[in-house]
Amino acid sequence: MGVSWVSASDERSRSVTAAIEREFSGVVAWYGHATGAWWAMVRVRRDVRLVEALSPRELREAIVNAQGWPWPR
């Protein structure tokens, strides 16, 4: 019998980020436990952009609108 050190919130954040990465090809997403924010690296034309959001729903919006997304500052 093994012991899991992964909390329920870690499992939730992993499943959410996996779903976002499936939804948006080429995007790398994660939840920042230290920041309490959701993050993604998004391709914008020939560059990449780091976007930050307060929720998974907002992260999806940030990914779609990455070029003009105001966060992080």
Tell me the per-residue pLDDT of 8-22, one tens digit each, with 9 for 90 and over: 568 888 999 999 999
Tell me the per-residue pLDDT of 25-55, one tens digit each, with 9 for 90 and over: 999 999 999 999 999 999 999 999 999 999 9
Q: Is the pLDDT of residue 6 over 60?
A: no
What's the pTM value of the predicted model, to 2 decimals?
A: 0.82
Indicate whether 1 belongs to any domain.
Answer: no
pLDDT at 12: 85
Number of structural domains found in the chain: 1
Rounded Cα gap, residues 3 and 29, in angstroms: 27
Indicate whether 32 belongs to any domain.
Answer: yes
Which residues in 1-73 belong to E strands, given as ranges?
Answer: 28-32, 37-44, 47-53
Indicate whether 3 belongs to any domain.
Answer: no
| Residue (of 38, 69, 72, 40) closest to 56 by Cα position | 38
Indicate whether 64 belongs to any domain.
Answer: yes
Domain hosting residue 50, numbered range: 8-68
Dihedral of the alpha carbons of 33, 14, 56, 38, in degrees to the nearest 10:
30
Indicate whether 2 belongs to any domain.
Answer: no
pLDDT at 71: 73
Indicate whether 73 belongs to any domain.
Answer: no
